[in-house]
Structure formats: structure tokens, C-alpha cells
Amino acid sequence: MFKKILQKGREILVAGMVSLLLFTGCTVNMPQPQAPLHNVVGENEIMITGIISDSDFKTFYQATNDDTVDSYTIILNTNGGGGQACVGIMNRIEELQAKGIKVHTRVYSKAYSAGFFIWMMGDTRTMEPGSTLMVHTSRSQLLFDRRHAIMVDDPQRGILFKSLDEWVIAKSFEKLPNVDRMTLETMLMYDGMTFFNDETAKELGMW
């Protein structure tokens, strides 16, 4: 099964993939009618695009500050981004869920790296036809990109990467109970990036 996933991943691999550790800007906003979302703009929809940075957590928090609503929909079209920003958004989603607010996550085109982990946090999850996911951890990406492998053993940064990875891996097992645990663990710990499309994600039990 994992070889099948990797094979499909290679077929849809595109140039310009970024690691979980990038810290440039992204956009977190309310979709506008001209946005490529089938021209449907619903209430309490939030779109995350671009590369996620630390400042985007604050923007996301502000966009979800209405505790009187029943639900939020998060639409993702992102290459991923900063690990700490990712964890912050994931924690915010859990805060909303603890208040009884349902969160639906939807992949419009792609949800890579941090985008994948945000997507998996939804009470319900969907993917547009032809959309793709990419999974990796900070450690697996650093080892794959040999130029940065030395950072894994750095006394300070190595601890941060290990803590982030342990948290998101544990959260993955919790949020994706229908996915075979060994398959999921292999994808998360594989030295590199694992890509798969909406059909494969459904076969694996992710949505």
C-alpha cells in the first residue's frame, strides 16, 4: 500500500515544494465572490492560501473569534509553512471544538505539510476532485534535504523539531483513527515528502 502511495506521489510531484519550516507570508481571509471557489461564498468560511507564517496564527484567531456560531469552514490551498504557526492554528481549532463549534476542513487544490495537519483537524473533511495532500514531518524533511540534516542534531533546534514532530504525530493518530496506523506512521517518518490525491486519501480512510 505504501509503495502505491509513493508511486502516485511521484506522479503528482510538482516543482517548488516547500518544507514545514518556511516562514514567509500567506493569506488568511474570508473568501470573496471572485475567489476560485465555484463562486460560492458561505458564512463563516475562512480561506488559507500561500505559505503559512507565524503572523497568520493571529489572523486566523481573529477570523474565528465569534463563539456564537455553530460552525466554521476552513478552505485550504497552501504549500504549508511554519511548524509553530501550524501548531497554533491546530490548537485554535481544538479550542473551537471544545466549545461545541464544528469545524469543517476542505482542500480546494492542495494542502501540503502544515496544510495537511490543519486539514486533518476538521470534525468533517472533504477534498475537491483532483486536489492533493502532502505529508511529512520537520525531521523527515531535514533528513531528506541533506543540506539541513545537521540541524536535526543541533542541541536547541533539534529539541524543537522533535517536540513539534511528536505532537503532530500523536495528533495524527488521534484525528485519523480510520487510517492504518503502520501506513500513517510510515508516511510521517519517511525521509522526504509523501504526496497523494483525493481518491487515495479516501481509500486510506482520511475522509
pLDDT values of the chain reduced to their tens digit, one per residue, 207 residues:
655 544 544 443 333 333 333 333 455 554 443 333 333 345 799 999 999 988 888 889 989 999 899 999 999 999 998 888 898 999 999 999 999 999 999 999 999 999 999 999 999 999 999 999 999 876 655 555 554 444 445 555 544 556 778 888 899 999 999 999 999 988 887 767 899 999 999 999 999
CATH class belonging to 20-31+42-198:
alpha beta
For the whole prediction, is pTM greater than 0.85?
no
Torsion of CA 5, 11, 16, 21, to 10 degrees: 10
Helix %, strand %, coil % of the chain (to 5) = 45, 20, 35
How far is Cα 80 from Cα 134, in angstroms, rounded to an integer?
9
Residue 118 and residue 168 in contact, taking contact as beta carbons nearer than 8 Å? no
